[in-house]
Structure 1
Amino acid sequence: MKKLSFLSFFMLASIGLLSAQEVAYEEYDLDNGLHVILHQDNGAPVVTTSVMYHVGGKDRTEGRTGFAHFFEHLLFEGTKNIERGKWFEIVSSNGGTNNANTSQDRTYYYEVFPSNNLKLGLWLESERMLHPVIDQKGVDTQQEVVKEEKRLRYDNSPYGQLLPVLGKNLFEVHPYKDPNIGYMKDLDAATLEDVKAYNKKYYVPNNAVLVVAGDIDIAETKKLVSDYFGDIPRGEDVVRNYPKEQPITEQKITTAYDANIQIPAIGMAYRTPGFAERDAYVLEMISTYLSDGKSSKLYKKIVDDQKQALQVGAFNIAQQDYGMYLVFALPVGETSLEVLQEEMEEEVALVRDNLISEKDYQKLQNKFENNFVNSNSSVEGIAGSLATYHMLYGDTSLINKEIEIYRSITREEIKEVATKYLKPNQSVIINYLPGEKTEF
């Protein structure tokens, strides 16, 4: 009886904890098309102001790759009312922090300030949208910054070419075939007119979502948003019509070289659906099952028990149009890449051919419940999630109900999805070897 009472108490406490995670928000559109999401949390005197633009590495023309990432840097150069090079100084001198990042699908800018600097955060982002100074000096400066980043993160980083290798071999016609950072020859060839045209097309209010989250008053913030963003002109609607990939039906084997490594690697890669599709959620569960933690199937077998690999993992690389799924390992000693490939395929085949155990299934569900509880633990994180769910998933309410998708996934569905996407004839085998690097 005591055990039952304790279990009942634990379940009630867990339900209460999950309920407490619900994120309240209000969203609406300005007349210029800017989507606004406000989240009030007066628990701490901080506020996050962020803008996500629906522009990423895939938004380019042939011969002009890498523009979205380039703009991530360029739009910190300065504005009509912010002197060149002063952006970060303004933020730090007012007790704030800021950053930006770019994926193949979107670009995200944000500031975190003490809440008495809400106006400053809104002003900065409105300046970035309305008054950026785009001139040859800024273009030249940021080209060098991007080149240095490419050298650091890709050219001179061990296994830094792996992601470009994946894109090149999983895609033939979709822009995901090219790296998010782009090719330096394309940036070098870009004219000032090219850059200005890109800004005019994508960095407009109707291609963006503004999120203000934290210690705010909703009514006051609405007025400030209108004051700072309401008069920014609407841009032309962005129309995307990227080519579709044909299914992969025969296994492809490729080799890439990396001068920065001494230990080779083997990868089994698959093209998968975009992250908003239900199957992508199932694949996320499969990757967790196979490789999340030292008790996971791949790690326990290949690293712990058989001592054939230094590292092994299954990674669901989520993207909007198509995903990339990679099973990857580094060998120990004399273990060959062929042996590692066989061992990894054996574990994937078990998921395709059998239901995972009820025990493992419950363990998976517990992990995703825990991730959900922790996902909205900071105002900064909430701001990013709200923007992402609205812009890329088309459903802001997923911030509160995405866990319901994971809860509804069955063992049978896990088997079905593994069979659908993770078969040998749908894979690209990547032999990643030491040697003169493969150029991209």
Structure 2
Amino acid sequence: MHRWIFVKQVCVLIGLTLFFCVGITRAEVFKPQLFKLANGLKVVVISNHRAPLVTQLVMYKVGAMDEPPGQTGIAHFLEHLMFKGTKNLLPGEFSKIVARNGGQENAFTGRDYTGYHQSFASDRLEIMMQIESDRMSNLILTQEDIGPERQVVLEERNTRVENNPSALLSEEVNAAFYLNHPYRRPIIGWRHEIESISRSNLLAFYNKWYAPNNAILVIAGDVNVRDVLGLVKKYYGGIPSKELPPRVKWVEPRHQSDRRITLRHKQVRQPQLFKKFIAPGVMQDAPKSRALEILAEIIGGGTSSRIYQSIVVEQKIAASAGAWYDGETRGPGTFSFFATPLPGKSILDVERAIEKFIADLIEKGVARKEVAVAATRLQDAAIFARDGLYGPAVILGRALAIGLSVDYVEQWPKRISSVTNDDVNRAIRVVFGRGGSVTGLLLPEKKE
């Protein structure tokens, strides 16, 4: 039932790419209104009267990177348990109320945040606010709930990771890639730690981080702002704020050595290569982050991109290839490449082709026209985002959760259009012109 954000590759494939890129061709993208209650809850209202529908999203500014040592996966485990009982609702009653009122619900856990959302007819806003606000402070966890849900989470790990060689490799690449930052830990958690997380651990995590002053509420759809604020004050306004613990200011040291991870697995039929570089995230260097967004579109944006045209179409070395940038983070960003060899070509052929591609990129850079075309394509690709409800809610919720402002999202189209080829070429040298990459190879088992 719950959607778990695990690897950026998956997000790209399902279209949840960088939230800045769910974009728009001119300033004032969604025209949201931002409010803040006395208890610290930030409230964003996005009016959209195209259909009598509403999305409610509550985003907590806590994710896998905030987990205590020895408790990987607790943020995701708690996300599952948030659908159990409260002081006012029996276990499972939350979901029954949503369904009975014709709504849909889901939740997700990321490295930096955890989100809960429902979509429903606009005349059901009050009941949805009532039950969502209830679990912000009134969650009840019993051993009878925790035991079975632990098995659900472990089975999710079996399905998504243990039986997925690509996901197994991704875990090991991340563990080798980050020298210090908690992004090195898997969002779903290590199996042995999921098995050992206790009820007291879960309650401590909930009581520490689930509070109005650590949350963003986004209401998007066919609503009147005054009515929304009245309901928000009624249902969320009385929840007391908490003294939040100080956050660790994680710093990733400079990556100086290249590392190599090889996984052979019986399920692998087609070899794959992944290559990952540390890069500035938007919270570290917003201008470079925008330049890297442009670069990712130029070299990795689909079948017309540079890398696909080079090693798939022209050189006929790879069956598929791509590149992406992940910078929508509180911590450091990454720039990654992937490729699979054509039959008759080896994984080493693909690796040499990617290394030459990167070397040429450092030497020759990108052209002014490429940058202009990429910026326009990024803006045009998701122009219909304005018409949706869930998309705008998530875009703004995620932005605020990692520390960006509403203004940053609203002014993104203007800022992305100001990126120059000199900006992009400087970013290329910063990211690729030094050591510290990790290469992951996914290969079939050796024949005896």
Q: Which has the higher contact order (CA 8 A, sep 6+)?
A: 2
Q: Report the counterpart of residue 189 of structure 1 in structure 2.
A: 196
Point out the more displaced range, 269-278 or 55-64: 269-278
The Cα of 1:334 is off from its aligned counterpart by 2.9
Q: Report the counterpart of residue 51 of structure 2 in structure 1.
A: 44
For 1:341 and 1:118, locate their aligned partners in 2 and report how far apart those are by CA, in whole Å: 53
8 A Cα contact 2:273 2:441, kept in partner: yes
- The secondary structure found in structure 2 opposite 1:161 is helix
8 A Cα contact 2:107 2:115, kept in partner: yes
Q: Report the counterpart of residue 355 of structure 2 in structure 1.
A: 345
* TM-superposition CA deviations, 1:337-377 (whole Å, max 9, x none): 22211211222222222242333223212212213523333
Q: 1:140 aligns with which of 130, 139, 147?
A: 147
The answer to whether residue 255 in structure 2 is matched with residue 248 in structure 1 is yes
For 2:171 and 2:76, locate their aligned partners in 1 and report how far apart those are by CA, in whole Å: 15
The Cα of 1:176 is off from its aligned counterpart by 0.8
The alignment yields a C-alpha RMSD, in angstroms, of 1.9
8 A Cα contact 2:165 2:442, kept in partner: no
8 A Cα contact 1:303 1:312, kept in partner: yes
Q: Report the counterpart of residue 415 of structure 1 in structure 2.
A: 425
For 2:305 and 2:49, locate their aligned partners in 1 and report how far apart those are by CA, in whole Å: 40
Q: 1:386 aligns with which of 390, 396, 401?
A: 396
The answer to whether residue 312 in structure 2 is matched with residue 293 in structure 1 is no
Q: Report the counterpart of residue 6 of structure 1 in structure 2.
A: none
Matches within 5 A, 1:22-41: 22-41=29-48
Q: 2:319 aligns with which of 286, 310, 317?
A: 310
For 1:426 and 1:256, locate their aligned partners in 2 and report how far apart those are by CA, in whole Å: 20
The Cα of 1:42 is off from its aligned counterpart by 2.0
8 A Cα contact 1:175 1:242, kept in partner: no
Q: Report the counterpart of residue 226 of structure 1 in structure 2.
A: 233
- The secondary structure found in structure 1 opposite 2:127 is helix
* TM-superposition CA deviations, 1:241-260 (whole Å, max 9, x none): 14322111122222223333
| % identity of equivalent residues | 28
Point out the more displaced range, 264-273 or 224-233: 264-273
8 A Cα contact 1:297 1:347, kept in partner: no
Residues 243 and 357 of structure 1: is their aligned pair in 2 closer, same or farther, counting only changes over 3 Å? closer
- The secondary structure found in structure 1 opposite 2:64 is coil
* TM-superposition CA deviations, 1:257-282 (whole Å, max 9, x none): 33331222222211112233322222
Q: Report the counterpart of residue 402 of structure 1 in structure 2.
A: 412
* TM-superposition CA deviations, 1:72-128 (whole Å, max 9, x none): 111011222222122222111111111111110000111111000010111121011
Residues 57 and 258 of structure 1: is their aligned pair in 2 closer, same or farther, counting only changes over 3 Å? farther
For 1:104 and 1:358, locate their aligned partners in 2 and report how far apart those are by CA, in whole Å: 35
For 1:435 and 1:393, locate their aligned partners in 2 and report how far apart those are by CA, in whole Å: 44
- The secondary structure found in structure 2 opposite 1:58 is helix
The answer to whether residue 106 in structure 2 is matched with residue 99 in structure 1 is yes
For 2:32 and 2:343, locate their aligned partners in 1 and report how far apart those are by CA, in whole Å: 54
Q: Report the counterpart of residue 372 of structure 2 in structure 1.
A: 362
* TM-superposition CA deviations, 1:275-304 (whole Å, max 9, x none): 333222222221211121212111112111
The Cα of 1:64 is off from its aligned counterpart by 0.7
8 A Cα contact 2:154 2:194, kept in partner: no
Unaligned runs of 5+ in 1: 1-16
User: Which residue identity does 1:202 align to in structure 2?
Assistant: W
Unaligned runs of 5+ in 2: 1-23
- List, as ranges, runs of 4+ consecutive aligned residues in structure 1 with deviation greater than 4 Å: none
User: Which residue identity does 1:320 align to in structure 2?
Assistant: R
- The secondary structure found in structure 2 opposite 1:160 is helix
- The secondary structure found in structure 1 opposite 2:338 is strand
The answer to whether residue 330 in structure 2 is matched with residue 320 in structure 1 is yes
Residues 303 and 92 of structure 1: is their aligned pair in 2 closer, same or farther, counting only changes over 3 Å? same
8 A Cα contact 2:281 2:326, kept in partner: no
User: Which residue identity does 1:234 align to in structure 2?
Assistant: S
Q: Report the counterpart of residue 258 of structure 1 in structure 2.
A: 265
Give the alignment's TM-score, normalised by structure 1: 0.91
The answer to whether residue 163 in structure 2 is matched with residue 156 in structure 1 is yes
State the structure with more CA Rg.
1
Residues 249 and 155 of structure 1: is their aligned pair in 2 closer, same or farther, counting only changes over 3 Å? same
Residues 31 and 121 of structure 1: is their aligned pair in 2 closer, same or farther, counting only changes over 3 Å? same
Count of residue pairs brought into register by the alignment? 420
8 A Cα contact 1:207 1:238, kept in partner: no
Point out the more displaced range, 401-410 or 157-166: 157-166
Point out the more displaced range, 60-69 or 390-399: 390-399
For 2:27 and 2:422, locate their aligned partners in 1 and report how far apart those are by CA, in whole Å: 31
* TM-superposition CA deviations, 1:380-410 (whole Å, max 9, x none): 2111122122221421122321122211111
For 2:326 and 2:152, locate their aligned partners in 1 and report how far apart those are by CA, in whole Å: 26
- The secondary structure found in structure 1 opposite 2:295 is helix
Residues 117 and 84 of structure 1: is their aligned pair in 2 closer, same or farther, counting only changes over 3 Å? same
* TM-superposition CA deviations, 1:200-228 (whole Å, max 9, x none): 00111111011111111111211111110
- The secondary structure found in structure 1 opposite 2:59 is strand
For 1:325 and 1:247, locate their aligned partners in 2 and report how far apart those are by CA, in whole Å: 15
For 1:81 and 1:46, locate their aligned partners in 2 and report how far apart those are by CA, in whole Å: 26
